[in-house]
Amino acid sequence: MCGRFAFYTPAEAVVHLFDASTSATLTPRYNIAPTQAAPVIRRHEDGSRHLEPLRWGLIPFWAKEPGIGNRMINARAETVADKPAFRRAFKQQRCLVLADGFYEWQKTAGGKIPWFISLAAGGPFAMAGMWERWRESDAAPSLDTCTIITTHPNRMMSALHNRMPAILTGAAVDHWLDPASGREELVNLLEPVNDETLTAVAVSRRVNSPANDDPGLIEPASDSTSDPG
C-alpha cells in the first residue's frame, strides 16, 4: 500500500528530469494524504508532458458520487488491467505520480513505526499511476483524479508491508506514458525495484496526522534505525 508520500523537489528540477513543462505552483509537501493534490505528469495528445496537481483517489468516470475515490488511492498491479474501476485508465490514461519518498508503517509489539522510504541515490522518482476525469453531470465542472499502482514488495520492503508502489526508472518511464505500449509490456513494468535502489529510515509518529506537514517528518526519529529487517 502507499497511503502517504512526500514531494519537495523544486518544480524546475523535476520538469527537466522528466522532460515536462508546468504552469502550476507546487509547494514542498512532506505528508501528502488521500484526497489532497498529488503531483502528476500526464502525456497530452501532442506528445508533450505536463506536471500538474490532481486529486489523489481515483473516481471512475461512471461513478455516481465522488466518495468512491477515497477507496481508490491504490490499484493492484496484478488486477489493474481488468478491474472495472481501472481498466479504461490503465489502457488510455496512464500517468506518473512524483515523490521524493513515501511512508510505510511497520507493525511491532510496541505499536506501528512509520518509515520514510526514498531513493538511495537521492532525488525524486516516478510511481506508476493512472488518472480519470469525472463529472457529476454534463453541466458540472470536471474533476481529475489519480491513483498509485502497487506491486509485491522487494526484500527490504517485505519487512514493512506486503505491498509497495510500482516505481518506474529509466526507459520504463517512457514506455509507461507511451500510448502505443501494449498490455503485456505495461504489466511487466510493474515489478518491485531492486533492494539496492531504496533506503529507509524510521521517522517520528507525527507523520500519523495529515495536519503535520513539515521537513521534520522525514528526519530520523531520535531512536531510529535504518534497517527495517
**What is the C-alpha separation between 6 and 117, in angstroms, rounded?**
10
| Strand boundaries in 162-208, DSSP class E | 164-165, 167-168, 198-202
Rg (CA), the chain: 17
| Alpha-carbon span 126 to 128, nearest angstrom | 6
C-alpha distance from residue 228 to each of 178, 192, 225 (Å): 36, 17, 7
Catalytic residue among 52, 95, 104, 132: 104
Q: Is the dihedral of CA 145, 96, 174, 88 positive or negative?
A: negative
Tell me whether residue 2 is one of the annotated catalytic residues: yes
Largest alpha-carbon pair distance within the chain? 54
Q: What is the DSSP string of 6-43?
A: EE-S-HHHHHHHTT-B-------EEEE-TTSEEEEEEE
Task: Tell me which residue of 112, 114, 91 sits closest to 104, measured CA to CA.
Answer: 114
Q: Which of 2, 95, 132, 146 is an active site residue?
A: 2
Q: Is 78 a catalytic residue?
A: no
Strand ranges in the chain using DSSP code E only, listed in sequence order: 5-7, 29-32, 37-43, 49-56, 74-76, 94-99, 101-108, 111-119, 125-134, 143-151, 164-165, 167-168, 198-202
- Catalytic residue set: 2, 104
